[in-house]
Amino acid sequence: MLNEEAKKTMLRKIPHGLYICGVRDGEEMNGFTASWLMQSSFNPPLIVNCVRQDSGSHAMIKKTGIFAISFLENGQKDLAAQFFKPKSRVGNKFEEVEFYEGEETGCPIIKDSLGYVECKVVGMVEEGDHTVFVSQVIGAGIHREGEPLLLETTGWNYGG
């Protein structure tokens, strides 16, 4: 029998960074705070990005097959918080955030971030309440040096 409290406690001990995932479908852009992200291959360079299936951004990634990940710096907790709420409730999340469109995908990239990767989806697994998007890194850039923002340093939990 699964001990629910032990499961929740242990799954929350998996370390996660916090990122802003920028998506685009035609003229429509959105972004969300992502934390279930990891590198999964060197050659070709692949990452895994897990996205909630009931989100508008999920639908955009599934339709277009592209996204960009902006890497947040330790201390950018407030910026991460801006992208937690659904676009349907808060409107344009990029209104007060300086960004530019990625060369490879056209997806929004946060200017005040450590850097970014642009990705093209090459596979997906739709199980549970998140889709695992396996994606090839097709573009990357560095804005500055710094330590990444980690979920555990914010005091927030997303998991369990």
pLDDT of residue 156: 86
**SS3 for 101?**
strand
pTM for this model (two decimals): 0.93
Tens place of pLDDT per residue across the chain (160 aa): 999 999 988 888 888 899 999 999 999 999 999 999 999 999 999 999 999 999 999 999 999 999 999 999 999 999 999 998 766 555 688 888 999 999 999 999 999 999 999 999 999 999 999 999 999 999 999 999 999 999 989 988 777 6
pLDDT of residue 113: 98
Could you give the CA distance from residue 11 to residue 160 in angstroms, rounded to a whole number? 5
CATH class of 4-36+56-120+137-154: mainly beta
117 contacts 137 by C-beta, under 8 angstroms: yes
pLDDT of residue 18: 96
The ranges assigned to domains in the chain are 4-36+56-120+137-154
pLDDT of residue 91: 60
Q: What is the DSSP string of 85-99?
A: S-HHHH--TTTTS-E
